[in-house]
Amino acid sequence: MRKCKGFILMAAVMMAVSWSTAAKAADIVIGYSGPLSGPAAEYGEDCLNGVDLAIQELNAKGGITVKGRNYTFRLEKMDDRADPQTAVNIARQFIAEHKIMAIFNPVAHTIASLMKINEEKKDAFLIMGYTSATNINEMGNRLLVTTPMPFTIYVKVKADLAWNRGWRKGAMVVTAGPYGETWRKAFSDQWVKKGGTITFDQPANYYTRTDFAAPLAGALETNPDFLLIGGPSSTTGLMIEQARARGFEGGFVLVEQAKLDVIVKSMEKPLGLEGSIGAAMVTDVPYPDSASFMQRYALNYTRSATWESVINYTAMHALAKAVVAAGTVDDVRAVRAAIPGVFPMLGDEYPIEFFGITPNGRLISAAPVQTVRYGKFVQPQNYVWWPRTQKEFDQVTKLTKGVTKMVWNRVD
């Protein structure tokens, strides 16, 4: 009898071990590294939360099926503090411990560091990069997907809007690093081409800095009509408040990383945003799925959704679709090759619309821009940058499920 009981117990243990091993084998592990502490923590958490919510919902529906087998997703997250070497070390750890398929990362210079290792033959992984910096996509990495719209459309549109307000002199205090450098260079070229003047240009580290007294003093001494500023939203809000405290009465042109809806909630005096030109508030660019998504997001994270959470959420769904389409959970190159086939992803199912992917790996979505006039947020417009012909633009307007006005503003 004891032998029988021992046998049954051993069999149960073996079955539990076998089940546990099978469960692990059925996991598709997704990594996230980004700033989760310091001044940029809120930005990094919004990106992470978007991925996390998508994975929760995918798993709640039973995961995905690949070649007749069921798989669920597991998210591993670590704080890289926006440091390139730390991001690489985390990636190595993810590979060794979890054999990750993809890493989501939201900072241009840490994405660039990951691109040095992600195509290694035995340890290849996809980079799902939340950056609008176009130079990242020009480096020829075949396992890279960048998820937001290119910053070049924002440069063009915001320069036009600033010019039309009669502004002619601009001072630049933009976040340091590759993203900020490309933004400042592109905007300066566009502005000078129009006939405007850049009176001051000094980067500042919005990821570690909260006191912008020195660069602001230099910028305001040049008496600009507007300041081109921005980095993570929370520290951009500090920049605006500190500029107003110094008596600056001009406007602000915000790089699209800085979000108006996040900034306005963090400021002591929201009227300080008067004259701002920036990426539109999420709530002002509604899609049929937006209200439900906002509710689900707030319920899970007790905070409002941002474009970081919206875009990363939808990008994670795109990645899941690509795994199914590729028919493999092991071959990341096949998964990357399958991504173009999952589009379009429209607003009746997602809180943003992806219409495709560029040949060099950028997801295609419209760029929403909004201004602040007389203390009120003006109705935004969605700028469509990828069509080459009027016919292609017309096809986009027929496809969209959104209600925000679409404007064709081609970026070459």
Can you give the pLDDT at residue 325? 98
Q: How many residues does the chain have?
A: 412
Dmax over Cα atoms in the chain, in whole Å? 95
N-terminal to C-terminal alpha carbon distance within the chain: 81
Task: State the amino acid at position 90 in one-letter form.
Answer: I
Can you give the pLDDT at residue 13? 39
Question: Residues 232-274: pLDDT tens digits?
Answer: 998 999 999 999 999 999 999 999 999 998 899 888 777 899 9
Measured from the Cβ of residue 259, the count of other Cβ atoms closer than 10 Å reads 26
Question: Residues 196-237: pLDDT tens digits?
Answer: 999 999 999 998 888 999 999 999 999 999 999 999 998 999
Section 156-174 average pLDDT: 97
Can you give the pLDDT at residue 270? 76
Across the chain, what does the average pLDDT equal? 93
Instruction: Look at residue 149 and tell me whether its pLDDT is greater than 70.
Output: yes
Section 68-93 average pLDDT: 97
Can you give the pLDDT at residue 313? 98
Q: Nearest-5° angle of CA 362, CA 338, CA 61? A: 100
Section 155-181 average pLDDT: 96
Instruction: Look at residue 19 and tell me whether its pLDDT is greater than 60.
Output: no
Can you give the pLDDT at residue 6? 45
Instruction: Look at residue 194 and tell me whether its pLDDT is greater than 80.
Output: yes
Distance CA 131, CA 323 (A): 23
Can you give the pLDDT at residue 268? 77
Please give the domain boundaries of the chain with CATH numbers for all domains: 7-149+287-356 (3.40.50.2300), 151-283 (3.40.50.2300)
CA atoms within 13 A on the CB side of 332: 23
Distance CA 41, CA 47 (A): 10
Can you give the pLDDT at residue 39? 86
| Contact indicator for 240, 273 with CB cutoff of 8 Å | yes
Section 118-123 average pLDDT: 95
Can you give the pLDDT at residue 20? 40
Instruction: Look at residue 17 and tell me whether its pLDDT is greater than 50.
Output: no
Can you give the pLDDT at residue 266? 80
| H helix intervals, 125-199 | 134-137, 151-164, 178-194
Question: Residues 23-52: pLDDT tens digits?
Answer: 443 899 999 999 999 988 999 999 999 999
